[in-house]
Structure 1
Amino acid sequence: MKILLIEDEGKIGDYLKRGLSEAGFTTDWVQDGLTGQQMAMEEDYGLVILDVMLPERDGYALLRHIREAGVQTPVIFLTARDQIEDRVHGLELGADDYLVKPFAFSELLARLRSLLRRSPVREGETLQVADLELDLRRRRAFRKGQRIDLTAKEFALLELLMRREGEILPRALIASQVWDMNFDSDTNVVEVAIRRLRTKVDTDFEVRLIHTIRGMGYVLEPPGAAPVIA
């Protein structure tokens, strides 16, 4: 699940991006309203977290514009504007929720997940490779109908591998996409995560789907497919 965070305060933005990443969400963070509006219009996000007081274009104007353009992505306002009229105005413009700063991250996460559960199922919210299925909306994995329990990071890693089915993904790319960090050759976080994920996804099944390509990276593919380099 990909989230767009539009927040101009650096400390808050960094805190939210790291927290959402730890919760298993891929997050794009921008710090002005015009850039945020453009990305909300052009990219496919599961949810937008939006401040009101932004440079270039304020959150109210941004929301009005994307709603008039037909973008129905769920939006949570996260702002210091705490007057009743501010909340009413935001909701009337088409916001799905309104949370006032200062806030508890646990409450934001609960509201975010509640909105995602209520959102209608969209095309492409289930990924499938062979007998492995990933339910993106409910954040559940199954193989041959058997539930696989995954951590947030394991789910994000499996989603990346399945979306890039058949592509050999270098460790640097995986580290960037899943952990949002620059790859350090002394760090074995990717290898450890792949090993744990492979244990859950492949060990109890006859056909192995996750493969190591020595010196290149990792690929998820069914038997007989020819991998390509990402």
Structure 2
Amino acid sequence: MRLLIIEDENDLRIALLRGFRKLGYLADGAADGVEGLELAQINSYDLIILDLNLPGMDGLEILRAIRETDWQQRIIILSARSDFTDRIEGLNLGANDYLIKPFDFGELEARVRNLLRRSFVHRESVLQCEGILLDTVKRIVRTAAGAVVELPPKQYAILEYLFLNQGRPVSAEELLEHVWAGDDVLFSGTVKVHISLLRKKMSEIVGYNIICNIRGAGYLLGKEKEQG
């Protein structure tokens, strides 16, 4: 999952970036409103954490600009403005949530997870496919029998994204955008390597391939249909 954190307080922005990256999220940061809006418009983010008191452009201006063209983008306002009217204005302009500073990082991360689940068809925290269960809260993969499947962070992130997008193929470019920072990886071959390792691991567990390669479309989670 890819986040954008627009926050001008340097220490707080760095702490949030470190905290979310440690949990396995991809996270970009912006120190002012102009840079933040530019990043929001040129990249695809699963969720934006937005401060209000920003140099260059106020957070509410950014919110208005995003909502002019995109009502699907998940946005959490993070602000020292505790006045009730500010919260009402932010929510009326289209923010999905509003958290007042100071705050607990655990609460913020829980709200992020909650909003990300709402972004997809599946609302449950535990997703299932072909006898494999993936807990998006505990970030654990296990079999129906309860055995935990150990996966490196990138492979887990790929599997989680495929689980959240069950029913449609996910392209290598989309995985690069949401599992890797798009400008940090130069070749889609990186995705192929990780997919190959993940596919082999899951095949050993369930006995058949559950990550299908749909030519020209991408990767689809589910049992490969037999030809004939």
TM-score, normalisation: structure 1? 0.61
- Give the residue type in structure 1 aligned to 2:157: A
Preserved CA contact (<8 Å) 1:52 1:79: yes
Aligned twin of 2:202? 201
- 1:7 shift after superposition: 0.8
Give the aligned partner of residue 59 of structure 2.
59
C-alpha separation in 1, matches of 2:117 and 2:171: 25
The CA deviation string for residues 16-70 of structure 1, in whole angstroms up to 9 with x for no partner, is 1111112221111111111211222222211110000111101011101111223
User: Paired residue for 1:99?
Assistant: 99
Q: Tell me how far apart the structure 1 counterparts of residues 23 and 126 of structure 2 sit (CA, whole Å).
A: 11
Would the aligned equivalents of 2:80 and 2:100 in 1 still touch at CA under 8 Å? yes
Is the alpha carbon distance of 1:141 and 1:45 closer, same or farther for their aligned partners in structure 2, counting shifts above 3 Å? farther
Q: Quick one: which amino acid aligns to residue 76 of structure 2?
A: I
Q: How does 1:111-150 map to 2 (within 5 A)?
A: 111-121=111-121, 140=127, 142=129, 144-147=130-133, 149-150=140-141
Output the amino acid matched with 2:101.
K
Identity %: 40
Matched residue type, 2:133: R
* Equivalent in the alignment of 2:156: 155
What SS class does the counterpart of residue 116 from structure 1 fall into?
Answer: helix
Q: Match of 1:3, as an amino acid?
A: L
**Structure 2 gap ranges (5+):** 135-139, 142-150, 163-168, 185-193, 214-228
Q: Which amino acid aligns with 1:112?
A: V
Please give the alpha-carbon distance, in whole angstroms, between the structure 2 residues aligned to 1:160 and 1:115. Answer: 15
TM-score by length of 2: 0.62
> For residue 14 of structure 2, what is the aligned residue in structure 1?
14
Residues 107-139 of structure 1, C-alpha deviations (whole Å, 9 max, x = no match)? 101111111222354xxxxxxxxxxxxx8x968
1:159–1:64 distance in 2 versus 1, CA, 3 Å: same
Pairwise CA RMSD of aligned residues? 4.2
